Structure 1
Amino acid sequence: MKAKLKSDEKIKKISDKEIYQEIFDAILSFRLRPGTRLTEENLSKIFNVGRTTIRSALLRLSQDHIIEIQPNKGAFIASPTVKQGKDILEARKLIEVEIVKDVIKHATHSDFDLLKKIVKSEENNIEREHMVEGIQLGGDFHLMLAKISKNTTLERILTTLIPQTSLVIVLYENPDAPKCSHFEHFELIDVMEKGQVEKATTLMYQHIHSIETRLNLDEKEFTSDLVDIFKKR
Protein backbone atom coordinates (compact mmCIF):
# COMPACT_ATOMS: atom_id res chain seq x y z
CA MET A 1 0.00 0.00 0.00
CA LYS A 2 2.80 2.43 0.88
CA ALA A 3 4.55 1.65 -2.40
CA LYS A 4 1.33 2.39 -4.28
CA LEU A 5 0.92 5.72 -2.50
CA LYS A 6 4.46 6.71 -3.41
CA SER A 7 3.77 5.76 -7.01
CA ASP A 8 0.57 7.86 -7.08
CA GLU A 9 2.38 10.82 -5.56
CA LYS A 10 5.07 10.57 -8.22
CA ILE A 11 2.47 10.55 -11.01
CA LYS A 12 0.58 13.59 -9.74
CA LYS A 13 2.64 16.61 -10.76
CA ILE A 14 -0.16 19.13 -11.29
CA SER A 15 -3.39 19.75 -9.38
CA ASP A 16 -6.92 19.67 -10.77
CA LYS A 17 -7.13 23.42 -10.14
CA GLU A 18 -4.00 24.00 -12.24
CA ILE A 19 -5.39 21.81 -15.04
CA TYR A 20 -8.61 23.85 -14.89
CA GLN A 21 -6.56 27.01 -15.39
CA GLU A 22 -4.46 25.50 -18.20
CA ILE A 23 -7.61 24.57 -20.12
CA PHE A 24 -9.28 27.93 -19.45
CA ASP A 25 -6.11 29.75 -20.57
CA ALA A 26 -6.08 27.69 -23.76
CA ILE A 27 -9.66 28.81 -24.46
CA LEU A 28 -8.89 32.48 -23.83
CA SER A 29 -5.80 32.35 -26.06
CA PHE A 30 -7.85 30.83 -28.92
CA ARG A 31 -5.85 27.58 -28.89
CA LEU A 32 -8.80 25.56 -27.64
CA ARG A 33 -12.07 26.26 -29.41
CA PRO A 34 -15.66 25.87 -28.22
CA GLY A 35 -17.03 22.48 -29.22
CA THR A 36 -13.72 20.65 -28.75
CA ARG A 37 -14.04 17.24 -27.11
CA LEU A 38 -11.96 16.66 -23.96
CA THR A 39 -11.08 13.03 -23.35
CA GLU A 40 -9.84 11.80 -19.99
CA GLU A 41 -7.31 9.53 -21.67
CA ASN A 42 -5.66 12.29 -23.70
CA LEU A 43 -5.69 14.81 -20.86
CA SER A 44 -4.23 12.25 -18.47
CA LYS A 45 -1.30 11.70 -20.85
CA ILE A 46 -0.85 15.39 -21.62
CA PHE A 47 -0.71 16.50 -17.97
CA ASN A 48 0.88 13.29 -16.65
CA VAL A 49 -1.75 12.75 -13.94
CA GLY A 50 -4.25 10.06 -13.06
CA ARG A 51 -7.80 10.11 -14.38
CA THR A 52 -9.18 11.00 -10.94
CA THR A 53 -7.41 14.35 -11.13
CA ILE A 54 -8.69 14.90 -14.67
CA ARG A 55 -12.26 14.09 -13.63
CA SER A 56 -12.01 16.58 -10.78
CA ALA A 57 -10.74 19.29 -13.15
CA LEU A 58 -13.53 18.54 -15.64
CA LEU A 59 -16.11 18.70 -12.85
CA ARG A 60 -14.82 22.16 -11.86
CA LEU A 61 -15.03 23.30 -15.47
CA SER A 62 -18.54 21.89 -15.77
CA GLN A 63 -19.70 23.68 -12.61
CA ASP A 64 -18.53 26.99 -14.13
CA HIS A 65 -20.29 26.12 -17.41
CA ILE A 66 -16.98 26.21 -19.29
CA ILE A 67 -17.50 22.64 -20.47
CA GLU A 68 -20.53 20.43 -20.97
CA ILE A 69 -20.50 16.78 -19.91
CA GLN A 70 -22.82 14.76 -22.11
CA PRO A 71 -23.89 11.24 -21.04
CA ASN A 72 -22.24 8.51 -23.13
CA LYS A 73 -20.42 11.13 -25.21
CA GLY A 74 -17.93 12.82 -22.91
CA ALA A 75 -16.88 16.38 -22.13
CA PHE A 76 -16.91 19.24 -24.65
CA ILE A 77 -15.88 22.89 -24.41
CA ALA A 78 -19.17 24.75 -24.10
CA SER A 79 -20.30 26.42 -27.31
CA PRO A 80 -22.95 29.00 -26.40
CA THR A 81 -25.36 29.97 -29.17
CA VAL A 82 -25.91 33.56 -30.24
CA LYS A 83 -29.10 33.66 -28.16
CA GLN A 84 -27.33 32.22 -25.12
CA GLY A 85 -24.58 34.80 -25.53
CA LYS A 86 -27.13 37.61 -25.62
CA ASP A 87 -28.94 36.15 -22.59
CA ILE A 88 -25.68 36.00 -20.62
CA LEU A 89 -24.93 39.65 -21.36
CA GLU A 90 -28.49 40.74 -20.59
CA ALA A 91 -28.27 38.97 -17.23
CA ARG A 92 -25.00 40.75 -16.51
CA LYS A 93 -26.54 44.13 -17.31
CA LEU A 94 -29.33 43.56 -14.79
CA ILE A 95 -27.09 42.13 -12.10
CA GLU A 96 -24.14 44.49 -12.38
CA VAL A 97 -26.26 47.64 -12.41
CA GLU A 98 -27.51 46.55 -8.96
CA ILE A 99 -23.98 45.61 -7.86
CA VAL A 100 -22.74 49.12 -8.68
CA LYS A 101 -25.39 50.64 -6.40
CA ASP A 102 -24.28 48.43 -3.52
CA VAL A 103 -20.60 49.13 -4.17
CA ILE A 104 -21.24 52.85 -3.76
CA LYS A 105 -22.97 52.11 -0.45
CA HIS A 106 -20.30 49.82 1.01
CA ALA A 107 -16.92 50.46 -0.65
CA THR A 108 -14.05 51.84 1.44
CA HIS A 109 -10.98 53.78 0.28
CA SER A 110 -9.02 50.52 0.46
CA ASP A 111 -11.60 48.82 -1.77
CA PHE A 112 -11.22 51.51 -4.43
CA ASP A 113 -7.42 51.29 -4.18
CA LEU A 114 -7.64 47.54 -4.80
CA LEU A 115 -9.92 48.04 -7.79
CA LYS A 116 -7.46 50.54 -9.27
CA LYS A 117 -4.58 48.07 -8.84
CA ILE A 118 -6.53 45.36 -10.66
CA VAL A 119 -7.38 47.67 -13.58
CA LYS A 120 -3.82 49.01 -13.76
CA SER A 121 -2.56 45.45 -14.04
CA GLU A 122 -5.22 44.77 -16.69
CA GLU A 123 -4.01 47.81 -18.64
CA ASN A 124 -0.35 46.77 -18.38
CA ASN A 125 -1.07 43.27 -19.66
CA ILE A 126 -3.15 44.52 -22.59
CA GLU A 127 -0.44 47.02 -23.56
CA ARG A 128 2.10 44.16 -23.56
CA GLU A 129 -0.40 42.11 -25.62
CA HIS A 130 -0.77 39.54 -22.85
CA MET A 131 -4.42 39.15 -23.80
CA VAL A 132 -5.19 36.07 -21.69
CA GLU A 133 -4.06 37.79 -18.51
CA GLY A 134 -5.82 40.99 -19.58
CA ILE A 135 -9.14 39.23 -20.11
CA GLN A 136 -8.87 37.41 -16.79
CA LEU A 137 -8.04 40.62 -14.92
CA GLY A 138 -11.03 42.29 -16.57
CA GLY A 139 -13.17 39.50 -15.16
CA ASP A 140 -11.46 39.85 -11.78
CA PHE A 141 -12.48 43.54 -11.71
CA HIS A 142 -16.15 42.64 -12.05
CA LEU A 143 -15.89 39.83 -9.51
CA MET A 144 -14.24 42.17 -7.02
CA LEU A 145 -17.08 44.67 -7.50
CA ALA A 146 -19.52 41.89 -6.63
CA LYS A 147 -17.52 40.99 -3.53
CA ILE A 148 -17.36 44.61 -2.37
CA SER A 149 -21.13 44.96 -2.88
CA LYS A 150 -21.69 42.45 -0.05
CA ASN A 151 -24.58 40.93 -2.01
CA THR A 152 -23.56 37.27 -1.83
CA THR A 153 -26.43 36.11 -4.05
CA LEU A 154 -25.49 38.40 -6.93
CA GLU A 155 -21.81 37.58 -6.38
CA ARG A 156 -22.54 33.86 -6.71
CA ILE A 157 -24.52 34.36 -9.93
CA LEU A 158 -21.88 36.62 -11.45
CA THR A 159 -19.17 34.07 -10.64
CA THR A 160 -20.85 31.70 -13.11
CA LEU A 161 -21.55 34.39 -15.72
CA ILE A 162 -17.98 35.71 -16.02
CA PRO A 163 -16.45 32.48 -17.43
CA GLN A 164 -19.45 32.09 -19.76
CA THR A 165 -18.88 35.64 -21.03
CA SER A 166 -15.26 34.72 -21.79
CA LEU A 167 -16.49 31.83 -23.93
CA VAL A 168 -18.89 34.11 -25.79
CA ILE A 169 -16.06 36.59 -26.45
CA VAL A 170 -13.75 33.85 -27.69
CA LEU A 171 -16.43 32.46 -29.98
CA TYR A 172 -17.99 35.61 -31.39
CA GLU A 173 -15.78 38.67 -30.90
CA ASN A 174 -14.63 40.48 -34.02
CA PRO A 175 -10.81 40.20 -33.94
CA ASP A 176 -10.50 43.78 -35.20
CA ALA A 177 -12.68 45.18 -32.41
CA PRO A 178 -10.86 47.59 -30.05
CA LYS A 179 -10.09 46.14 -26.61
CA CYS A 180 -10.17 49.07 -24.22
CA SER A 181 -12.24 47.83 -21.29
CA HIS A 182 -9.67 49.11 -18.80
CA PHE A 183 -10.47 52.71 -19.79
CA GLU A 184 -14.12 52.07 -18.98
CA HIS A 185 -13.13 50.34 -15.74
CA PHE A 186 -11.10 53.35 -14.61
CA GLU A 187 -14.04 55.63 -15.44
CA LEU A 188 -16.41 53.43 -13.46
CA ILE A 189 -14.14 53.54 -10.41
CA ASP A 190 -13.94 57.32 -10.59
CA VAL A 191 -17.71 57.75 -10.80
CA MET A 192 -18.41 55.22 -8.04
CA GLU A 193 -15.83 56.80 -5.77
CA LYS A 194 -17.64 60.13 -6.21
CA GLY A 195 -20.91 58.46 -5.22
CA GLN A 196 -22.65 59.28 -8.51
CA VAL A 197 -25.17 56.44 -8.52
CA GLU A 198 -27.15 57.29 -11.64
CA LYS A 199 -24.06 57.93 -13.76
CA ALA A 200 -22.36 54.76 -12.45
CA THR A 201 -25.33 52.54 -13.29
CA THR A 202 -25.55 54.06 -16.77
CA LEU A 203 -21.84 53.51 -17.35
CA MET A 204 -22.04 49.90 -16.20
CA TYR A 205 -24.99 49.19 -18.50
CA GLN A 206 -23.16 50.78 -21.43
CA HIS A 207 -19.96 48.90 -20.53
CA ILE A 208 -21.66 45.50 -20.72
CA HIS A 209 -23.57 46.55 -23.84
CA SER A 210 -20.29 47.49 -25.52
CA ILE A 211 -19.19 43.85 -25.28
CA GLU A 212 -22.22 42.84 -27.34
CA THR A 213 -21.47 45.47 -29.99
CA ARG A 214 -18.06 43.87 -30.55
CA LEU A 215 -19.55 40.46 -31.31
CA ASN A 216 -19.81 38.87 -34.74
CA LEU A 217 -23.11 37.01 -34.58
CA ASP A 218 -22.29 34.51 -37.35
CA GLU A 219 -22.14 31.14 -35.62
CA LYS A 220 -19.23 28.89 -36.59
CA GLU A 221 -18.06 25.39 -35.75
CA PHE A 222 -14.49 24.69 -34.67
CA THR A 223 -12.47 21.53 -34.17
CA SER A 224 -9.16 21.15 -32.35
CA ASP A 225 -6.70 18.41 -31.50
CA LEU A 226 -5.90 18.20 -27.78
CA VAL A 227 -2.39 16.83 -28.13
CA ASP A 228 -1.45 19.54 -30.63
CA ILE A 229 -2.96 22.30 -28.45
CA PHE A 230 -0.99 21.41 -25.33
CA LYS A 231 2.22 20.06 -26.85
CA LYS A 232 4.03 23.39 -26.34
CA ARG A 233 3.21 23.63 -22.61
Structure 2
Amino acid sequence: MNKSVWALMATAALCAAFTSCASSKTSSDVLAAYGDTGAYESTAIASTPLSTANVTRYPTTLGDFDPIQLDEFFAMTLSFGKLKVKQITKFYLAPRSNTIEIYYRGGANSLCFIINQQSREGIIKAAQTFLEKQESQTLVDEKPTNTNSFYSGICDVWWGVATPANGAKNAKFHTNCKFIDGLPYFVIRFASAPSTTTQSTYSPYEELYFSPAQLRVFCDQIEQENLQSLVDEVSVKAYAY
Protein backbone atom coordinates (compact mmCIF):
# COMPACT_ATOMS: atom_id res chain seq x y z
CA MET A 1 0.00 0.00 0.00
CA ASN A 2 1.52 3.30 -1.00
CA LYS A 3 2.15 6.18 1.33
CA SER A 4 -0.77 8.28 0.05
CA VAL A 5 -3.31 5.58 0.95
CA TRP A 6 -1.86 5.24 4.47
CA ALA A 7 -2.05 9.00 4.88
CA LEU A 8 -5.72 9.07 3.88
CA MET A 9 -6.57 6.23 6.28
CA ALA A 10 -4.77 7.94 9.16
CA THR A 11 -6.57 11.21 8.49
CA ALA A 12 -9.98 9.47 8.44
CA ALA A 13 -9.29 7.69 11.74
CA LEU A 14 -8.20 10.93 13.39
CA CYS A 15 -11.36 12.75 12.21
CA ALA A 16 -13.55 9.94 13.53
CA ALA A 17 -11.88 10.17 16.93
CA PHE A 18 -12.44 13.93 17.14
CA THR A 19 -16.06 13.53 16.03
CA SER A 20 -16.69 10.93 18.74
CA CYS A 21 -15.21 13.17 21.45
CA ALA A 22 -17.21 16.19 20.30
CA SER A 23 -20.45 14.20 20.24
CA SER A 24 -19.80 12.82 23.73
CA LYS A 25 -19.09 16.30 25.16
CA THR A 26 -22.21 17.78 23.61
CA SER A 27 -24.46 15.06 25.07
CA SER A 28 -22.82 15.46 28.47
CA ASP A 29 -23.42 19.24 28.47
CA VAL A 30 -27.10 18.78 27.57
CA LEU A 31 -27.63 16.20 30.34
CA ALA A 32 -25.90 18.46 32.82
CA ALA A 33 -28.30 21.23 31.95
CA TYR A 34 -31.34 18.96 32.57
CA GLY A 35 -29.83 16.94 35.42
CA ASP A 36 -28.08 13.60 35.57
CA THR A 37 -31.27 11.69 34.80
CA GLY A 38 -32.14 13.83 31.83
CA ALA A 39 -35.19 15.27 33.61
CA TYR A 40 -35.72 19.02 33.23
CA GLU A 41 -35.01 21.00 36.39
CA SER A 42 -37.17 24.11 36.39
CA THR A 43 -35.68 27.39 37.50
CA ALA A 44 -37.44 29.00 40.46
CA ILE A 45 -39.03 32.30 39.43
CA ALA A 46 -39.71 34.81 42.17
CA SER A 47 -43.30 36.09 42.05
CA THR A 48 -45.09 38.81 43.97
CA PRO A 49 -48.40 37.50 45.35
CA LEU A 50 -51.45 39.60 44.59
CA SER A 51 -53.03 41.22 47.62
CA THR A 52 -56.39 39.74 48.58
CA ALA A 53 -57.26 42.56 50.95
CA ASN A 54 -60.35 44.43 49.79
CA VAL A 55 -59.67 47.89 51.13
CA THR A 56 -62.45 50.42 50.69
CA ARG A 57 -61.34 54.02 50.45
CA TYR A 58 -63.88 56.61 51.51
CA PRO A 59 -63.84 60.21 50.27
CA THR A 60 -62.65 62.64 52.91
CA THR A 61 -64.78 65.44 51.49
CA LEU A 62 -67.94 65.81 49.41
CA GLY A 63 -67.57 69.48 48.59
CA ASP A 64 -66.50 72.85 49.94
CA PHE A 65 -69.85 73.78 51.48
CA ASP A 66 -71.15 74.67 54.92
CA PRO A 67 -73.08 72.03 56.91
CA ILE A 68 -76.41 71.04 55.37
CA GLN A 69 -79.30 70.58 57.78
CA LEU A 70 -80.99 67.21 57.40
CA ASP A 71 -84.59 66.34 58.17
CA GLU A 72 -85.35 65.61 61.79
CA PHE A 73 -85.59 62.03 62.96
CA PHE A 74 -87.03 60.30 65.99
CA ALA A 75 -85.21 57.93 68.31
CA MET A 76 -85.56 57.04 71.98
CA THR A 77 -83.59 57.04 75.19
CA LEU A 78 -84.11 54.77 78.18
CA SER A 79 -84.95 56.39 81.51
CA PHE A 80 -85.71 54.30 84.59
CA GLY A 81 -86.56 51.32 82.39
CA LYS A 82 -88.96 53.31 80.22
CA LEU A 83 -88.41 54.51 76.67
CA LYS A 84 -88.63 58.23 76.08
CA VAL A 85 -89.03 59.67 72.58
CA LYS A 86 -86.21 61.93 71.43
CA GLN A 87 -87.00 64.33 68.60
CA ILE A 88 -83.65 65.18 67.04
CA THR A 89 -83.83 68.35 64.99
CA LYS A 90 -80.16 69.36 65.01
CA PHE A 91 -78.97 66.89 62.42
CA TYR A 92 -76.38 67.91 59.82
CA LEU A 93 -74.24 66.70 56.95
CA ALA A 94 -70.77 68.29 56.92
CA PRO A 95 -69.67 68.06 53.25
CA ARG A 96 -66.13 69.24 53.93
CA SER A 97 -65.42 66.21 56.13
CA ASN A 98 -68.01 63.74 54.77
CA THR A 99 -69.47 63.29 58.25
CA ILE A 100 -72.88 63.61 59.85
CA GLU A 101 -73.40 65.46 63.13
CA ILE A 102 -76.14 64.54 65.61
CA TYR A 103 -76.92 67.03 68.39
CA TYR A 104 -79.28 66.48 71.30
CA ARG A 105 -79.45 66.82 75.04
CA GLY A 106 -78.82 63.71 77.09
CA GLY A 107 -79.32 64.10 80.82
CA ALA A 108 -77.20 67.00 82.06
CA ASN A 109 -75.10 67.15 78.90
CA SER A 110 -75.44 68.69 75.49
CA LEU A 111 -74.14 66.00 73.13
CA CYS A 112 -72.76 65.87 69.62
CA PHE A 113 -71.85 62.66 67.77
CA ILE A 114 -69.82 62.95 64.56
CA ILE A 115 -69.96 59.83 62.38
CA ASN A 116 -67.90 59.16 59.24
CA GLN A 117 -68.98 57.24 56.15
CA GLN A 118 -67.39 53.93 57.10
CA SER A 119 -69.19 53.86 60.45
CA ARG A 120 -72.45 54.96 58.81
CA GLU A 121 -72.29 52.07 56.37
CA GLY A 122 -71.57 49.74 59.28
CA ILE A 123 -74.67 51.01 61.09
CA ILE A 124 -76.79 50.49 57.96
CA LYS A 125 -75.59 46.90 57.52
CA ALA A 126 -76.20 46.20 61.21
CA ALA A 127 -79.69 47.67 60.87
CA GLN A 128 -80.41 45.45 57.88
CA THR A 129 -79.42 42.39 59.90
CA PHE A 130 -81.62 43.52 62.79
CA LEU A 131 -84.62 44.15 60.52
CA GLU A 132 -84.25 40.80 58.76
CA LYS A 133 -84.12 38.97 62.07
CA GLN A 134 -87.00 41.03 63.42
CA GLU A 135 -89.18 40.14 60.45
CA SER A 136 -88.28 36.45 60.73
CA GLN A 137 -88.69 36.61 64.53
CA THR A 138 -85.23 35.18 65.13
CA LEU A 139 -83.85 37.92 67.40
CA VAL A 140 -82.53 36.65 70.72
CA ASP A 141 -83.49 38.33 73.98
CA GLU A 142 -80.10 38.74 75.63
CA LYS A 143 -78.13 41.45 77.36
CA PRO A 144 -76.36 43.71 74.83
CA THR A 145 -72.59 43.27 74.96
CA ASN A 146 -69.64 44.16 72.77
CA THR A 147 -69.35 40.48 71.83
CA ASN A 148 -72.89 40.03 70.52
CA SER A 149 -73.07 43.40 68.75
CA PHE A 150 -74.09 43.55 65.10
CA TYR A 151 -71.37 46.10 64.38
CA SER A 152 -68.77 48.07 66.32
CA GLY A 153 -67.37 51.33 64.99
CA ILE A 154 -65.86 54.64 65.98
CA CYS A 155 -67.04 58.24 66.05
CA ASP A 156 -66.07 61.57 67.55
CA VAL A 157 -68.11 62.78 70.51
CA TRP A 158 -68.42 66.23 72.04
CA TRP A 159 -70.23 67.05 75.27
CA GLY A 160 -70.71 69.73 77.89
CA VAL A 161 -73.30 71.10 80.31
CA ALA A 162 -74.10 74.23 78.30
CA THR A 163 -72.41 73.47 74.97
CA PRO A 164 -70.32 70.53 73.69
CA ALA A 165 -66.95 71.86 74.87
CA ASN A 166 -65.12 68.59 75.61
CA GLY A 167 -64.14 66.26 72.81
CA ALA A 168 -63.06 62.65 72.34
CA LYS A 169 -61.85 61.33 69.01
CA ASN A 170 -62.29 57.74 67.83
CA ALA A 171 -64.72 56.87 70.60
CA LYS A 172 -66.16 53.38 70.24
CA PHE A 173 -69.80 52.51 69.73
CA HIS A 174 -71.64 49.20 69.41
CA THR A 175 -74.95 48.26 67.80
CA ASN A 176 -77.18 45.67 69.44
CA CYS A 177 -80.70 44.42 69.91
CA LYS A 178 -82.41 44.97 73.24
CA PHE A 179 -85.85 43.75 74.25
CA ILE A 180 -87.97 46.21 76.21
CA ASP A 181 -91.46 45.22 77.36
CA GLY A 182 -91.22 42.17 75.12
CA LEU A 183 -90.37 44.10 71.94
CA PRO A 184 -86.96 44.25 70.19
CA TYR A 185 -85.28 47.61 69.62
CA PHE A 186 -82.11 48.51 67.77
CA VAL A 187 -79.70 50.32 70.07
CA ILE A 188 -76.49 52.25 69.41
CA ARG A 189 -74.37 52.20 72.57
CA PHE A 190 -71.81 55.01 72.68
CA ALA A 191 -69.01 53.97 75.03
CA SER A 192 -67.38 56.40 77.43
CA ALA A 193 -64.10 57.76 76.04
CA PRO A 194 -61.28 59.92 77.43
CA SER A 195 -61.33 63.58 76.50
CA THR A 196 -58.65 64.82 74.11
CA THR A 197 -59.07 68.36 75.42
CA THR A 198 -59.33 67.96 79.20
CA GLN A 199 -57.33 65.41 81.19
CA SER A 200 -59.13 62.96 83.50
CA THR A 201 -62.46 63.74 81.83
CA TYR A 202 -64.57 61.11 80.07
CA SER A 203 -67.54 61.37 77.76
CA PRO A 204 -70.87 60.16 79.16
CA TYR A 205 -72.04 56.68 78.25
CA GLU A 206 -75.08 57.05 76.00
CA GLU A 207 -77.65 54.78 74.37
CA LEU A 208 -79.91 55.67 71.45
CA TYR A 209 -82.82 53.33 70.68
CA PHE A 210 -84.77 52.84 67.46
CA SER A 211 -87.98 51.00 66.71
CA PRO A 212 -87.96 49.20 63.33
CA ALA A 213 -89.92 52.07 61.74
CA GLN A 214 -87.63 54.74 63.20
CA LEU A 215 -84.59 52.76 62.12
CA ARG A 216 -85.69 52.59 58.49
CA VAL A 217 -86.11 56.37 58.38
CA PHE A 218 -82.73 57.00 60.00
CA CYS A 219 -80.87 54.62 57.68
CA ASP A 220 -82.49 56.20 54.64
CA GLN A 221 -81.26 59.60 55.80
CA ILE A 222 -77.65 58.51 56.30
CA GLU A 223 -77.44 56.48 53.08
CA GLN A 224 -74.43 57.85 51.18
CA GLU A 225 -76.25 58.11 47.87
CA ASN A 226 -78.91 60.32 49.45
CA LEU A 227 -76.32 62.49 51.19
CA GLN A 228 -74.40 62.93 47.94
CA SER A 229 -77.62 63.98 46.20
CA LEU A 230 -78.06 66.79 48.71
CA VAL A 231 -74.52 68.01 48.07
CA ASP A 232 -75.12 67.84 44.31
CA GLU A 233 -78.23 70.02 44.69
CA VAL A 234 -76.26 72.61 46.64
CA SER A 235 -73.46 72.48 44.07
CA VAL A 236 -75.89 73.16 41.21
CA LYS A 237 -77.25 76.20 43.04
CA ALA A 238 -73.80 77.42 44.03
CA TYR A 239 -72.33 77.27 40.53
CA ALA A 240 -75.42 78.28 38.56
CA TYR A 241 -74.56 80.75 35.79
TM-score by length of 1: 0.27
Larger RCO: Structure 1 or Structure 2 (Cα < 8 Å, ≥ 6 residues apart)? 1
Please identify which structure carries the higher helix content: 1
TM-score by length of 2: 0.26
Greater C-alpha Rg: 2
Please identify which structure carries the higher strand content: 2
